[in-house]
Structures are given as C-alpha cells and as structure tokens.
A = this chain, B = another copy of it.
C-alpha cells in the first residue's frame, strides 16, 4: 500500500508550535512575517514533504491559476509552436494551461467554451475556428469579467485584446514582391473571409495590385480550406485556365502553396519560370519543396508567449484587456527561389 498521509499547514504549524495562519502566510512570502519564522516554515515544509493543496487554495481564494486555451487544431507546426510559447511563459509564472481544440468547427468551439467556463479558468485564450460567425459563446466570460484574449484568428471586440501580425501589410509586401519579380497575373489562394487573417491577406493583395495598376480579377481568387487537397485542387483549376494562366500565386498558407506547386510540377510547369509562388507561415515544408518557397515568417512561439504574458499582466492588474486593443507582432518576408522569376537572386 502506498504511503498516504498528506502533510498540511497544520502539521507544519504543530511541528513549529505556531499557528496555521502564520504558516500559510510564511509560505507565500507575506510581507508581515518574520524572516526567521519564514525560514523555519520553509525548512519544516521541505523536511515534512509538504505540498500545497491547490484545490483548497482555489476554493478559498477563487483564483485557479489556470488559463484556458481554445485552438482550431493542435497538430500544425504553427499552432504547436504557439503552444510551446504559451507553456513556457505560463510555467514561468506558475500558471496552468487547459488546452482544447475546436477542430475548426464552430459548434465544438461553443462546447469547449462552456467547458472552460465550468472549469473556472482565470482567463481564456482563443484562436477562432474556420467557420465561427459570432462570439456569443464567450458572453458568459465577459459578463463575469473573465478576460478573453484572441490570437492569430481574432475577433474585434471592445472587451478583449487581440494578438496578431499585420496580415494586411505582410500580404501587401508578398504581392508587391511578386509584382517586382515580373508577375502581372497573380492568383490568390485564400481562406474563409470570416477570419481576419484571410480577409486581411486578401485586402493586402488587392491593395498591392491597385498600387501597381493591375486590375483585380475575381477569377484569380480561389477560396478554400487551404489544406493539402485544396492546394491540389487549385492546381487543377489553374491547369484548366487555358486562356490566360496566372504567372504568379500568392497562397495564404504554405500547405496550399506547396501542394499546388507539386501538382503543377508534375505537369511540367516550371516554377518560378512559368509561375512564381509565395506562401505564408514559414512552415518546415517551405524549406523542403523545390524550389524553396518564398513565404512570410512569424513566430508562433512569440505569439503564444505574448498572449500568455498579456493575460497574466491583465490578471495581475498591470494592464487591461479592455484598454489594450491590439498587440501587433513582427513578421518578415522570406524570399526564396520560388518567387525569383528574374534569376538575379
């Protein structure tokens, strides 16, 4: 049978002939406690093998030191980097993470939000599902004053902070880069316009065209889920465009770009010679595909870290999610061969 006596602050108190209150205070560096007793308390705690009971503590203090996370999917390179950053930042501050995935479904996201609410997270970090149309399911949090911070796939709202990159500017730069490299018919592989990341990228794309006197052509926008299959499908669409095929493709993520490239390469189309390519995310596959894919790099790790830090600051009253509207992180255009039509490199 395993040993089973849990040591409590009362055991420590008895051991030292002081009160449990003092032990409680000593353990959490209360200012009004004698340095010496504090030291004794810690020694006794270590010696007796004490571990604090978070449940009793949460029950009483109403703080859980837990942050809820809702993401579309766990298994993408970007999102796992985000989580790595979150975990790092949270563990530094002794916060826990409860993680759930919406699997890109608004319905599941609603269920997850309820679960998080019932788990009494101190705050919630959300990146929205592909087809979420509103954020009613977070109302309960707003009403209770539980902070909600959106990251990457955000929703503009007066009660919450957003953590994003400047998708508009990044897309503008990508498109301009393609134009500078001799593209004049650029196709855009985009995602659901409900999501800021995709609508902003489309907007940046359009503006760059406009600024370079290129007419926007509806037919050159291909909206999809941006997965492997969608990339291949985009390629098939391009191949069917016998009349005036695009001479460049800007995809809103690397997966779609890469799978589109692979399909086109099979048919003998040369990249970037015939069609130049650029993606978004700097996924590991962008460095493997030949030619290597021009893309936009932004650190998932940094996004995750920023989200958690900003949440904890808010919880500590250092900042406020209502006043801080948006935090914009850096992103960089990474130029690789796939977009260099004029092989000047």
Contact = CB atoms under 8 A, between A and B. Distances in A.
Interface of A: 1-4, 51-56, 58-59, 64, 73-77, 79-81, 83-84, 87-88, 91, 96-101, 115, 117-120, 142-145, 258, 262, 284-285, 288-290, 300-301
Contact of A115 (B59, B64, B76, B91): B91
20 contacts: A2-B145, A4-B144, A51-B118, A54-B55, A54-B120, A55-B55, A55-B56, A55-B58, A55-B120, A73-B84, A74-B80, A74-B83, A74-B87, A75-B301, A76-B80, A84-B101, A87-B100, A88-B101, A96-B119, A288-B289
Leading 5 A-B pairs by shortest Cβ distance = A2-B145, A80-B80, A75-B80, A55-B59, A55-B58
B75 A99 contact: no
Nearest to A300: B75
A143 B3 contact: yes
Q: Which of A2, A64, A73, A117 has most B Cβ within 10 Å?
A: A2
Contact of A285 (B55, B58, B142, B288): B288
A222 B155 CA distance: 50
Contacts of A80: 74-77, 79-80, 83
B64 A288 contact: no
Contacts of A120: 51, 53-55
Q: Which of A54, A74, A98, A145 has most B Cβ within 10 Å?
A: A74
Contacts of A98: 96-98
Contacts of A100: 87, 91
Contact of A290 (B79, B118, B290): B290
Contacts of A77: 75, 77, 80
A84 B75 contact: yes
Contacts of A59: 53, 55-56, 59
A163 to B, nearest CB: 18
Contacts of A74: 80-81, 83-84, 87
Contacts of A119: 54, 96
Given A87-B74, A288-B262, A2 B52 contact: no
A101 B96 CA distance: 13
Q: Which of A75, A115, A142 has most B Cβ within 10 Å?
A: A75
Given A3-B144, A285-B288, 13 more contacts: A2-B143, A53-B120, A54-B118, A54-B119, A54-B120, A55-B120, A75-B77, A75-B80, A75-B81, A75-B83, A75-B301, A87-B99, A91-B100
B258 A288 contact: yes
